[in-house]
Amino acid sequence: MKRGISILVLLLVGFALFAGGQKEAPKAPAAKPAEKQIVMRLAETHRADYPTTRGDMEFARLVNERTNGRIKIDVYHSSQLGEEKAVIEQVQFGAIDFTRVSISPLAAFAKHFDALQMPYLYRDAEHMWKVLNGPIGEEFLQSIEKANFVGLCWYDSGARNFYNSKREIKSPADLKGLKIRVQQSELMMNMVAALGAIPTPMPFGEVYSALQTGVVDGAENNWPSYISTSHFEVAKYYTLDEHTRVPEITIGSKIVMDKLSKEDQAIIKKAAKDSMPYQIAEWKKEEKIAEEKARKAGCIITVLPSNAEFQAAMKPLYDKLTPELQEVVRRIREVK
């Protein structure tokens, strides 16, 4: 019996020690659910080495870095996800997360963007940047929420000039009767018509073969696009009329952005803005390189003593603007 009791005592002591030991043992940390990586897509029309694409990559890099890899933005360049107009539509209903586009096709979705891309609107690049980086630029970025987009940042696109395969353009009279490709934008169609040429809207990716086969006689774009698309090979007359400065914009899908936390939305917005100085610096470099290439390739570059005639021809476009947009134009011009 005594033995029985001592065994019982031993068992109890052992159990107490065991239980106590259990209590002392360091607790294993509660398994944290692995943070899911969010992979997003950004659509870009240009090639991988074009300055806007380089800006997109910088934006993606900053988001990745600032979220410790939790948010990854894959840049689909070279129109892999489609041409600009179709891509904008997809961003609008949330099938594509982001895109960097020219504001010309965007104006089909947000008409008031025409006020930012009027011909001969800005005195120079510096004026345009003052506008875009100031309250007007910010208002425009915010204004597209109504159309289901989140406006993120602006990129540089320099000035656009006419080029064609037929002849030197020294005045609007030389444009008469030429079929000129324009972006898919009503304003740009009206601009070309006001100069006496025949506007032909078409997606960017179709322009090379249209020039080559004579579907169009010419087009208009900045130096880097003229070179990166090889248009210079099939349309060697380039006139420095600088008729427009059309800002580039990066937009997000509002449907997609609304699903992210407020913190992530803020990281994305700030990263986009922080990628701007890099893109603008890359742009400046590329503009020079592209111009040099055009000269070396033997393109015929026409420098106008004055673009007054071109400017005068654009007056009807301003008269056609709604009073609200005329007011925006007035405010833009007042920016010193």
Q: How far apart are CA 153 and CA 138, in angstroms?
A: 9
Contact stretch for ligand BDP (CB under 6 A) within 24-32, 85-93, 190-198, 219-227: 219-227
| Residue range at the interface with ligand BDP (CB under 6 A); choices 3-11, 17-25, 221-229, 325-333 | 221-229
Cβ proximity to ligand BDP: between 184 and 302 the closer is 184
Please give the structure tokens belonging to residue 183.
Answer: 């972006």
Helix (H) or strand (E) holding 221: strand 218-221
Contact flags string 316-335 toward ligand BDP, x per CB under 6 A: --------------------
Closest contact distance (angstroms) between CB of 68 and ligand BDP is 32
End-to-end Cα spacing for the chain:
106
Which backbone phi and psi does 178 adopt, to 5 degrees?
Answer: -80, 140
Map 7-29 to HEC letters: HHHHHHHHHHHHHHHHHHCCCCC
Q: Is 99 helix (H, G, I), strand (E, B) or coil?
A: strand
Q: Is 228 in the site for ligand BDP (CB under 6 A)?
A: no
Binders in 52-71 for ligand BDP, by CB under 6 A: 52
Q: Specify the residue for token string 């290439």.
A: 293
| 148, 157, 190, 244: residue in contact with ligand BDP (rule CB under 6 A) | 157
DSSP per-residue letters across 153-177: EEE----EEEEESS---SSHHHHTT
Least CB distance from residue 111 to ligand BDP, whole Å?
18
When binding is defined by CB under 6 A, the residue of 79, 164, 221, 307 that contacts ligand BDP is 221
* Alpha-carbon distances of 278 from 48, 157, 158, rounded to whole Å: 15, 13, 15
| 204, 223, 278, 283: residue in contact with ligand BDP (rule CB under 6 A) | 204
Whether 74 and 41 have beta carbons less than 8 Å apart is answered as: yes
Binding mask 71-100 for ligand BDP (x = CB under 6 A): -------------x----------------
- Does residue number 222 form part of the binding site for ligand BDP (CB under 6 A)? yes
d(CA 317, CA 151): 26
The CA-based diameter of the chain, rounded to the nearest angstrom, is: 124
- Which of 67-75, 137-145, 189-197, 217-225 is the region at the interface with ligand BDP (rule: CB under 6 A)? 217-225
By C-beta, is 106 or 299 nearer to ligand BDP?
Answer: 106
Q: Which residue has the tokens 């607790």?
A: 27
User: Please, what is the minimum distance in Å from the beta carbon of residue 246 to ligand BDP?
Assistant: 7
Measured from the CB of residue 181, what is the shortest distance to ligand BDP in angstroms? 8
Which residues bind to ligand BDP, rule: CB under 6 A? 45, 52, 84, 101-102, 157, 183, 204, 221-222, 225, 248
